[in-house]
């Protein structure tokens, strides 16, 4: 059984093709799989000084929950902010 050899196409040829063609002519979007994108809001790095005993407690709690202590701090801050905003 013979297989067809694929013609090699350069990036420039692909770019030229799509410059003059619409993807909707080629793609059947009615049968395209649904994609659930996860939105992650932008983040800002901050510096926060905590008393060492408090940080140690937070790290212990986070370790018991098997998550990073920074993630735990973010969760707690978010929960408190929601509570205060009610």
Our count of domains for the chain comes to 1
Quick one: the chain helix, strand, coil %, rounded to 5? 55, 0, 45
The answer to whether residue 23 sits within a structural domain is yes
Indicate the pTM of the whole model.
Answer: 0.54
Q: How many angstroms separate the Cα of 46 from the Cα of each of 19, 39, 79?
A: 44, 21, 19
In this prediction, residue 6 carries a pLDDT of 77
The answer to whether residue 2 sits within a structural domain is no
In this prediction, residue 25 carries a pLDDT of 78
Counting DSSP H helices and E strands in the chain, the numbers are 3, 0
The answer to whether residue 5 sits within a structural domain is no
The answer to whether residue 71 sits within a structural domain is yes
pLDDT tens digits for range 14-63: 899 889 888 887 888 788 888 888 888 899 999 999 999 999 999 999 99
The answer to whether residue 27 sits within a structural domain is yes
Q: Domain residues for 35?
A: 11-40+49-85
């Amino acid at each position: 059984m013979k297989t067809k050899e694929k013609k090699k196409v350069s990036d420039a040829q692909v770019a030229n093709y799509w410059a003059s063609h619409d993807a909707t002519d080629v793609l059947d979007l009615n049968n395209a799989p649904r994609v659930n994108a996860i939105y992650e809001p932008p983040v800002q790095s901050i510096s926060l000084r905590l008393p060492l005993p408090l940080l140690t407690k937070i790290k212990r709690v986070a370790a018991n929950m098997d998550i990073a202590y920074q993630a735990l701090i973010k969760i707690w801050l978010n929960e408190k902010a929601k509570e205060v905003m009610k």
